[in-house]
Amino acid sequence: MFERLKRVWLQAKAQRKIKKYDKKYRRAKPLLERPPSFHVEDAFDAFVKEFGGQKVSDILSEKKGMPLNADYFFKDHNVIAELKTIEGIYSGPDGPKQLTDTYIEAGYSGSDVMGLLWRNEPIPTDVSQLIRKRIRRSLEQRIKKARKQLKMTKEMFGTKDTKSLILIAMDSDPVFGHETMFGNIVNIMADNYMDEHTDGIVYMTPNTPSTAPNLSMEMSMWIPSYRDEGENSHFVDFVNLLGSGWLKFSGEKIGEETPILQMETEHEVRAVIELFGNRSNNNR
């Protein structure tokens, strides 16, 4: 009872922090449309070079028959990272069609889908089970490949103290919101992959900024999660520094000021996900 009240109070406090930030940086005139999307992998490659990291493919002397390697090596920080761009999982322009196909496969009609999208009717249980299964399977395939790449690259360049980081970039608006996608990723990691081959994972939304009711700004998220809650401060500081640098870099790329709002606690992060990760807020 008291824990629940404490959680509600802390999340309300975090929401006040977000609204204060919004009031400080909100635009006098809102954007009429979003800036055009950019190629995430190419942009992140350029950012990593500016940040002081290296592409692993540039380090390898033998290009032919290149092994299954991770994307980046941050030698000064002793961190290896792999970037996975997520699209096509009930997201983007094809998302509604994927959703409709799932309804029809489960024996429903297109009008039932409209009930969800336009009248916010609940998803039938059997359809929901199919959707959860497919989202999880698609995300898990990417995570498993990323872990294999990190493991092989660590064997080539790392030591026992080298940290491994998976970067998940959601590159198109998810039908069910960022909260659903991030929640699935965290659950997959917690269920099967809490070991030395993945020390942290980041969920980022470079081309899919989100808004929330009563707020004027859109947020581009960088949400880290760690295998060990007591993860050493050097690694956590590196991930925060990488995130701040990337948000500024990507903001400059689209010609937008990107003031950074750093959430300090789990409750603050949860408040951000609940405010900006909801399906109805993102699919406007």
pTM: 0.86
Distance of CA 100 to the CA centre of its chain: 25
Task: Please give the Cα distance from 52 to 74 (Å, whole number).
Answer: 7
Dihedral of CA atoms 254, 57, 200, 14 in degrees, nearest 10, equals: -10
Instruction: Determine the residue type at 153.
Output: T
Task: Please give the Cα distance from 68 to 146 (Å, whole number).
Answer: 9
Distance of CA 238 to the CA centre of its chain: 17
Other C-beta atoms within 10 Å of 210: how many? 24
Task: Please give the Cα distance from 185 to 245 (Å, whole number).
Answer: 23
Q: Considering only CA atoms, which of 144, 249, 134, 154 is closest in space to residue 201?
A: 144
Residue 16 to residues 108, 166, 215: CA-CA distances in angstroms?
42, 31, 11
Query: pLDDT at position 125, please?
Result: 92
Residue with tokens 């055009």: 36
239 and 200 in contact (C-beta within 8 Å)?
yes
Cα dihedral sign, 225-228-232-234: negative
Instruction: Determine the residue type at 67.
Output: P
pLDDT in 10s for each residue of the chain, 284 residues: 556 666 667 667 777 877 787 777 766 445 556 677 889 999 999 999 999 999 998 988 665 556 689 999 999 999 999 999 998 889 988 888 999 999 999 998 878 888 887 887 889 999 999 999 999 999 999 999 999 999 999 998 889 899 999 999 998 888 888 888 988 998 999 888 878 889 999 999 988 877 776 677 777 889 998 987 666 789 999 999 999 999 999 888 877 777 777 776 676 777 777 766 665 444 43
Looking at the chain, list the stretches that DSSP marks H as alpha helix, in order from N- to C-terminal side.
2-25, 40-51, 56-59, 95-105, 110-119, 125-157, 177-192, 233-253, 266-276, 279-282
